[in-house]
């Protein structure tokens, strides 16, 4: 992976993300708020500066697919009152709720030796595999879930209920986690076995997030969706790293 003293790499990171920020500013369709774009610029610089174009590709694919899937069934979700706010446009809280853990993994990979370097890069991919899984499961479930159940009791609940799961959403989430894991493998960021760790970690983390939503989220004002997203991606990264570490010692 790139070293921190790769000055040219950081110059490319700043130039590229500044160019993309300018393009986003004049684009008619806004995927983020103004503040969201500024924070996304910082995220992009950090990712490119640490993991190069491969790591950057992962976060861009997550962002584009995640933004697109948020708009699936938008009219139905708005009518039901369960659509994302601001027409699906993301703010700084959404950027870091989704990518804070991944950014820590990317930065940490610069300062540790093998095998921790490879494990942290795995955690980076797993966190986005987890987050896209969660996003797809939630948005597809809200738009197309025919029967939704509370994950802790399996009692039928309305679509959009915190902690609700559906067959349609679960399948979409699984496919999303596989897609990001395969992308990470194709880019050389994870091993073939790492694909399995990412998918398993995403499954565990996404269901853990649903359990949090069904049990304790409404009890604490500070436990916002963005905080829960950060917990979700952290679980995904940690589970993937633990699985890889255990496998390495077997």
Q: Report the distance separating Cα 21 and Cα 27, nearest Å.
A: 10
Please identify which residue in the block is written with the tokens 């590709």: 57
CA nearest neighbour of 101 among 216, 240, 211: 240
**pTM of the model as a whole:** 0.90
Instruction: Report CA 127 to chain centroid distance, whole Å.
Output: 6
Query: For the residues of 23-67, what is the DSSP string, one character each?
Result: HHHH-SS-SB-HHHHHHHHHHHHHHHHHHHHHHHHHHHHHHHHHH
Bridge-based pairing of strands 148-150 and 164-166 is antiparallel
The pLDDT tens digits along the chain (250 residues) read 444 456 688 999 999 999 999 998 888 777 788 899 999 999 999 999 999 999 999 999 999 999 888 877 665 655 555 555 555 577 899 999 999 999 999 999 999 999 999 999 999 999 999 999 999 999 998 888 889 999 999 899 988 788 889 999 999 999 999 999 999 999 999 999 999 999 999 999 999 999 998 998 888 888 999 999 999 999 999 999 999 999 998 6
């Amino acid at each position: 992976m790139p070293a921190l003293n790769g000055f040219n790499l950081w110059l490319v990171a700043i130039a590229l993300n500044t160019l993309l920020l300018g393009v986003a500013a004049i684009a008619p369709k806004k995927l983020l708020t103004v503040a969201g774009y500024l924070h996304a610029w910082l995220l992009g610089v950090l990712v490119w500066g640490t993991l190069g174009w491969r790591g950057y590709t992962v976060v861009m694919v997550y962002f584009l697919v995640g933004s697109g899937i948020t708009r699936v069934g938008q009219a139905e979700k708005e009518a039901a009152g369960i659509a994302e706010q601001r027409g699906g446009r993301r703010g700084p809280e959404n950027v870091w709720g989704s990518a804070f853990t991944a950014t820590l993994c990317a930065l940490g990979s610069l300062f540790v030796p093998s095998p921790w370097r490879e494990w942290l890069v795995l955690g980076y991919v797993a966190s986005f595999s987890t987050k896209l899984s969660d996003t797809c499961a939630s948005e597809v479930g809200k738009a197309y879930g025919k029967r939704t159940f509370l994950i802790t009791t399996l009692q039928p609940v309305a679509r959009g209920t915190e902690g609700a799961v559906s067959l349609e959403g679960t399948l979409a989430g699984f496919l999303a986690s596989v897609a990001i894991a395969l992308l990470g493998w194709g880019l050389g960021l994870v091993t073939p076995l790492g694909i399995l760790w990412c998918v398993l970690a995403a499954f565990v983390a996404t269901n853990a997030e649903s359990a949090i939503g069904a049990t304790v989220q409404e009890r604490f004002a500070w436990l916002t969706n963005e905080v829960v997203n950060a917990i979700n991606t952290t679980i995904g990264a940690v589970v993937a790293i633990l699985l890889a570490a255990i496998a390495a010692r077997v």
